[in-house]
Structure formats: C-alpha cells, structure tokens
C-alpha cells in the first residue's frame, strides 16, 4: 500500500477519493484532515484485502474495480454475500464496534484500486462529524438489509428469478463480473448459468 500523498498518480487518486459517494459533502478542512490517513492499494484480481477471522479492521473506499465480501465454513465452502464497485465501500465497522473478528473476507474480483485507513482512525474521524457518521451507519444498515434479501432470494427464487433480480438491482456490474463469480453469488454452477443464457431463459 502507498500513502495517498506519495502515490505516483496523486492528482487522479485525489479526484477519485473526493468524488466517492461515501465522502461527498466533506468540507475542504474535513478532507485535509482525512487525507493524511489514507493509503492506496492497487489490487490484482484475486487479492485478499482482509481475511475472515482477522482482528485488524480496515475501512475501504472502492475507487476502481469490483470487490466481493465472502464467508467460508471450516470445510472451505464459500458464499459470496455481496459485490461492491466504485459507488460502494467495504467495511467491518459492525465487527469493530462489537470487538469481534472479521466475519468475512474481502477479496478483489477484478483489478481494483481502493483508498483505505484503519477503522480506529475512521471511527475517530466519524465521531467528530455527526452528520457523516449518521449517513455512514445508515449505509451499513442498507448493506445488511441487501445481504439478508439476497440470502432469502437464494431460498425463494428459482435460478432465472435470481439472475433477473441481480440484473434489475445491479445492471452496472452485470457485464463486468466473471461468469464464475456471478454464478457463485447466485448459488449456481457456471455451466448452469451458461445453459440458462444459451436457452434464452435469462
């Protein structure tokens, strides 16, 4: 990782950070206070940004690419809980606040660039800015609602219905996701997803 202020593309990255939806509305003074804490990670496809079970918590703002939040059981079976792209962030804020380990891993699905800082520093920053904290915590509740809806969908909808729901809710990611990743999120074999496409059912 590279401190934002030392990044070779500092002007581009600064603009990406300032335009991130989670940080819109920050005053110049607020941004000046935040910037020295930010580091930039240019991830390769498949890089683990955080592992399930870790206690070192980090706040991520996605600037380019797509990340996934994935949980694994002891047998190694994985479930993708959500994808996040440039309009999103990734966090383990709830686990940090409750003092519990990371309940999931955060992995890059594509080549990605993120701005990040330790959750302890992000939490302290939020405590000084009540409106931003309220907006941030509301966004976390929306993410949790989205994940619960996704899990319920896996049980209630058939394969075409699951795909159509994703297509409706995430049209901006549909053509960017590798078929294997999308199939896994929908709890389908890649071959099944391919067959549904070729048969015209989705």
SS (H, E, C) the chain: CEEHHHCCCHHHHHHHHHCCHHHCCCCHHHHHHHHHHCEEEEECCCCEEECCCCCCCEEEEEEECCEEEEEECCCCCEEEEEEECCCCEECCHHHHHHCCCCCCEEEECCCEEEEEEEHHHHHHHHHCCHHHHHHHHHHHHHHHHHHHHHHHHHHHCCHHHHHHHHHHHCHHHHCCCCHHHHHHHCCCCHHHHHHHHHCCCC
Confidence at residue 161, expressed as pLDDT on a 0 to 100 scale: 94
User: What is the pLDDT confidence band of residue 112, given thresholds at 50, 70 and 90?
Assistant: very high
Q: How far apart are CA 184 and CA 113, in angstroms?
A: 23
Is the Cβ–Cβ distance between 122 and 148 less than 8 Å?
no
Sign of CA dihedral 54, 82, 77, 152: positive
Confidence at residue 186, expressed as pLDDT on a 0 to 100 scale: 96
Average pLDDT of the chain is 95
pLDDT tens digit sequence for 9-66: 999 999 999 999 999 889 999 999 999 999 999 999 999 999 999 999 999 999 999 9
Find how far residue 31's CA is from the centre of its chain: 22
> Above 90 in pLDDT, residue 72?
yes
Confidence at residue 123, expressed as pLDDT on a 0 to 100 scale: 97
pLDDT tens digit sequence for 132-163: 999 999 999 999 999 999 999 999 999 999 99
Confidence at residue 23, expressed as pLDDT on a 0 to 100 scale: 93
Quote the tokens at residue 135: 């907006």
Confidence at residue 63, expressed as pLDDT on a 0 to 100 scale: 97
Domain 2-129 is of which CATH architecture? Answer: Sandwich (2.60)
List the chain domain ranges: 2-129
> Above 90 in pLDDT, residue 184?
yes
Is the Cβ–Cβ distance between 78 and 28 less than 8 Å?
no
Quote the tokens at residue 163: 């795909």
Q: How far apart are CA 138 and CA 144, in angstroms?
A: 10
> Above 90 in pLDDT, residue 125?
yes
Q: How far apart are CA 77 and CA 94, in angstroms?
A: 24
Confidence at residue 202, expressed as pLDDT on a 0 to 100 scale: 85
What pTM was estimated for this model as a whole? 0.92
């Amino acid at each position: 990782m590279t401190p934002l202020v030392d990044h070779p593309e500092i002007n581009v990255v600064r603009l990406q950070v300032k335009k991130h939806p989670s940080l819109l509305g920050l005053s110049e003074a607020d941004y000046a206070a935040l910037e020295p804490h930010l580091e930039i990670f240019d991830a390769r496809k498949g890089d683990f940004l955080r592992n399930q079970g870790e206690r070192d918590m980090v706040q991520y703002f996605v600037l380019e690419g797509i990340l996934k939040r994935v949980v694994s059981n002891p047998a190694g079976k994985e479930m993708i809980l959500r994808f996040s792209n440039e309009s999103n962030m990734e966090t383990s804020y709830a686990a940090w606040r409750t003092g519990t380990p990371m309940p999931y891993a955060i992995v890059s699905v594509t080549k990605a660039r993120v701005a990040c800082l330790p959750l302890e520093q992000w939490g302290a920053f939020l405590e000084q800015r009540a409106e931003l904290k309220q907006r941030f915590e509301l966004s976390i509740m929306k993410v949790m609602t989205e994940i619960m809806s996704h899990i319920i969908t896996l049980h209630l909808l058939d394969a075409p219905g699951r795909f159509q729901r994703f297509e409706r809710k995430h049209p901006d990611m549909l053509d960017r996701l590798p078929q294997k990743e999308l199939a896994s999120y929908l709890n389908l074999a890649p071959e099944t997803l391919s067959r549904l496409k070729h048969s015209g059912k989705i």
